C-alpha cells in the first residue's frame, strides 16, 4: 500500500470519521508491506499483510466480469493531470496496469478486486465492506458489478469522491438521492455526487 494513501484512510466503524494511525512493520521504498493501522477513537486494530489493508466485512469475490475497457473507463471517468487517487472496485480492478498507463501520476486504489490483483507499485489493494476512505478525498470512483448496482456502494462512492468529479458504475441506474446521473447506456452509468 502506498504510504501516502494512509493519510486518506478512515476507520470503518460507525463513529465520526477519524484517521487511522499506521505502525509499519516492513516497508519497501514508499510501500508499506506489513504492519497495523489503529483507530484512536474506538481502538480497533487492522492488519496490513502483503501490502493489503483488510478492514473486514469484504464481500466474497464472485468472479464477475466487466464490460469496461481501460480506454472506455478513462473516457468515462474524465480525469486530467497527475495527483490524487482513483478508486476501482470489483472486476474493473483487473485492468489496473492498463489504467495506470492511462493516468500517469494518479494512484490507483483497488477495492475488493478479483483474485490475481496484487498490491504493487501501481496499485494499493483494500478489502472492506465499505470504502474505508475519507469523505471527499478521491478524484474518481469506478464501481464494477455488483457494486455499481448496490445503493450502499453508490452512497459510499458519492461520499468519497471530490465534489464535481465522477463516479462510473456497472449495473442498473442508481437512485437520484445520492448522485446525479449524467449518462447511462448498456448497463454502465456516469454520475456526480449530489451535495
pLDDT tens-digit series, residues 32-81: 999 999 999 999 999 999 999 999 999 887 668 898 999 999 999 999 99
Instruction: Give pLDDT, residue 153.
Output: 97
Across 82-145, the runs of DSSP E, i.e. the strands, are 85-89, 107-111, 123-128, 140-143
- As a whole number, mean pLDDT of residues 106-113 equals 96
Q: Band the pLDDT of 187: cuts 50, 70, 90.
A: very high
Per-residue pLDDT tens digits for 122-172: 899 999 999 999 999 999 999 998 899 999 999 999 999 999 999 999 999
Contact present, 70 and 122 (Cβ < 8 Å): no
N- to C-terminal Cα distance for the chain? 30
Contact present, 129 and 154 (Cβ < 8 Å): no
CA distance 173 to 150: 10
CA distance 195 to 44: 30
The yes-or-no verdict on residue 7 having pLDDT over 90 is yes
The yes-or-no verdict on residue 97 having pLDDT over 90 is no
Amino acid at each position: 500500500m502506498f504510504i501516502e494513501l494512509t493519510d486518506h484512510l478512515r476507520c470503518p466503524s460507525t463513529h465520526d470519521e477519524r484517521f487511522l494511525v499506521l505502525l509499519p512493520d516492513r516497508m519497501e521504498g514508499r510501500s508499506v508491506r506489513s504492519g497495523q493501522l489503529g483507530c484512536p477513537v474506538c481502538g480497533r486494530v487492522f492488519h496490513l499483510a502483503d501490502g493489503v489493508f483488510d478492514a473486514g466485512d469484504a464481500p466474497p469475490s464472485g468472479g464477475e466480469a466487466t464490460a469496461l475497457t481501460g480506454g472506455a473507463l478513462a473516457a468515462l471517468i474524465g480525469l486530467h493531470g497527475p495527483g490524487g487517487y482513483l478508486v476501482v472496485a470489483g472486476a474493473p480492478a483487473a485492468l489496473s496496469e492498463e489504467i495506470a498507463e492511462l493516468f500517469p501520476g494518479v494512484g490507483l486504489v483497488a477495492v475488493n478486486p478479483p483474485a490475481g490483483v496484487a498490491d504493487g507499485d501501481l496499485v494499493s489493494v483494500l478489502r472492506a465492506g465499505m470504502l474505508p476512505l475519507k469523505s471527499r478525498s478521491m478524484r474518481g470512483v469506478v464501481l464494477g458489478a455488483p457494486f455499481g448496482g448496490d445503493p450502499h456502494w453508490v452512497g459510499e462512492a458519492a461520499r468519497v469522491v471530490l465534489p464535481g468529479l465522477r463516479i462510473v458504475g456497472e449495473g442498473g441506474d442508481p437512485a437520484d438521492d445520492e448522485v446525479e446521473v449524467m449518462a447511462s447506456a448498456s448497463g454502465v452509468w456516469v454520475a456526480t455526487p449530489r451535495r
